[in-house]
C-alpha cells in the first residue's frame, strides 16, 4: 500500500506491507474472509450499503473496501466494513486476530501520521521504534471491542484511541514529551458521516417522544457530546434509574442552551424551588447509576 505517506523502503512499514502480501496468499486468511461472508458477519451490516459482496471475496478486495474514495456510497461502505471488522476483532479466536491484522493494514496511513508526529532526533524515538509502539497500540485498541460502540466515524475513533495510547506509553520515557492531544484534530475527520447523522436522528427522535428538550437534528450531528448526554438520559430512564420527570429536569437544564427554572417549573405545574430540588435529586441518582460502570 505505497503512497505519498508510505514511501518504498521505509523499514518497519515496508516490512508490514511485505507481511500483508504474504498473508493475502495464505489460504488460512482467505478461509477466514470467506467465513466472515458466509456466516453473515460482514454481509448483515453491509447489505444496506451494497449488494456487491460475494463468497469469493479476497483479503485484497476486503482491504480495498476499507480505503475511502470519492464516491459517497464507498464512504458508507468503508464505515460499515470497519465496524464489522472491529466486532470480529473483539473475539478471542484466531479469526479475531486476522480481523485485527486487516484493520492494522487499512489504518497504516493514520499510523504513519501518528508516528511522524512522535519521532525525535534524540531520546531513541526513531521512526521504526515509534512505528512499533503505534502498530502495537492500534492492534490492542482494535481488539478491545469498544470502538464500534462509540459515536462518530469508526476510523476517526480508532485513530484517536490509538494516539492516546501511544502518547501514554511515550510519556513514560525520559525523552521529550509527546505532542499534545490537540494534534488529533489534524488526524480525525471532524465532519459527521452517514453513521453519526443517522444515529443522531434516532436519538433525537426518541428524545422528542420522551418530552426532552432536544433542539434541531442537524445541531445534534455536529455536537456529539449533546447527543451522548441525551442518549445517557434515555438509557437511564429505560433502565429505571430516572423517572421521565427526572430526565426532563436534567435535559431541559443542560440541552440546547437550557430552559430557565421558572419557565420549566411553570411547564410542569410546580414551583421553581421544587423544580430545582427535583433536578438536584435527579443528578444525584444519575451519578449513582453510573458508578458501577465507572468502576468496571
What number is the average pLDDT over the span 251-272? 79
Q: CA-CA distance, 106 to 78, in Å (whole number)? A: 10
Report the interhelical angle of 224-239 vs 244-254 (nearest 10°). 170
What number is the average pLDDT over the span 158-185? 68
Who contacts 60 (Cβ-Cβ below 8 Å, separation ≥6)? 24
Task: Please tell me whether the overall predicted TM-score, pTM, comes out greater than 0.75 for this model.
Answer: no
Burial class (CB in 10 A: 0-12, 13-18, 19+), 200: buried
The answer to whether residue 126 scores a pLDDT higher than 70 is yes
- What 3-state DSSP class applies to 240? coil
* CB distance 33 to 59 below 8 Å: yes
* CB distance 127 to 10 below 8 Å: yes
pLDDT at res. 19:
92
Q: CA-CA distance, 91 to 113, in Å (whole number)? A: 28
What number is the average pLDDT over the span 50-64? 71
HSE at residue 142, side-chain half, CA atoms within 13 A, is 28
> What cell was used for 203?
436519538
pLDDT at res. 292:
43
Amino acid at each position: 500500500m505505497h503512497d505519498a505517506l508510505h514511501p518504498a523502503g521505509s523499514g518497519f512499514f515496508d516490512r508490514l506491507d511485505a507481511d500483508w502480501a504474504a498473508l493475502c496468499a495464505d489460504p488460512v486468511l482467505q478461509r477466514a474472509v470467506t467465513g466472515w461472508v458466509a456466516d453473515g458477519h460482514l454481509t448483515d451490516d453491509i447489505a444496506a450499503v451494497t449488494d456487491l459482496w460475494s463468497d469469493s471475496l479476497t483479503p485484497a478486495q476486503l482491504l480495498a473496501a476499507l480505503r475511502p474514495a470519492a464516491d459517497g456510497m464507498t464512504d458508507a461502505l468503508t464505515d460499515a466494513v470497519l465496524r464489522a471488522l472491529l466486532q470480529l476483532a473483539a473475539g478471542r479466536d484466531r479469526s479475531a486476530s486476522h480481523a485485527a491484522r486487516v484493520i492494522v493494514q487499512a489504518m497504516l496511513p493514520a499510523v504513519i501520521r501518528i508516528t511522524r508526529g512522535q519521532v525525535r532526533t534524540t531520546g531513541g524515538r526513531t521512526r521504526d521504534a515509534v512505528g512499533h509502539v503505534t502498530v502495537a497500540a492500534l492492534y490492542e485498541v482494535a481488539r478491545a471491542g469498544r470502538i464500534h460502540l462509540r459515536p462518530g466515524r469508526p476510523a476517526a475513533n480508532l485513530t484517536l484511541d490509538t494516539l492516546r495510547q501511544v502518547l501514554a506509553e511515550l510519556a513514560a520515557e525520559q525523552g521529550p514529551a509527546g505532542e499534545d492531544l490537540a494534534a488529533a484534530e489534524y488526524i480525525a475527520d471532524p465532519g459527521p458521516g452517514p453513521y453519526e447523522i443517522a444515529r443522531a436522528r434516532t436519538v433525537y427522535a426518541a428524545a422528542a417522544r420522551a418530552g426532552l428538550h432536544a433542539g434541531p437534528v442537524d445541531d445534534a450531528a455536529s455536537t456529539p457530546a449533546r447527543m451522548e448526554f441525551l442518549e445517557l438520559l434515555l438509557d437511564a430512564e429505560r433502565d429505571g434509574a430516572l423517572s421521565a420527570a427526572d430526565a426532563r429536569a436534567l435535559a431541559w437544564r443542560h440541552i440546547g442552551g437550557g430552559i430557565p427554572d421558572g419557565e420549566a417549573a411553570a411547564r410542569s405545574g410546580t414551583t421553581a424551588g421544587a423544580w430545582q430540588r427535583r433536578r438536584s435529586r435527579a443528578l444525584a441518582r444519575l451519578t449513582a447509576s453510573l458508578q458501577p460502570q465507572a468502576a468496571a
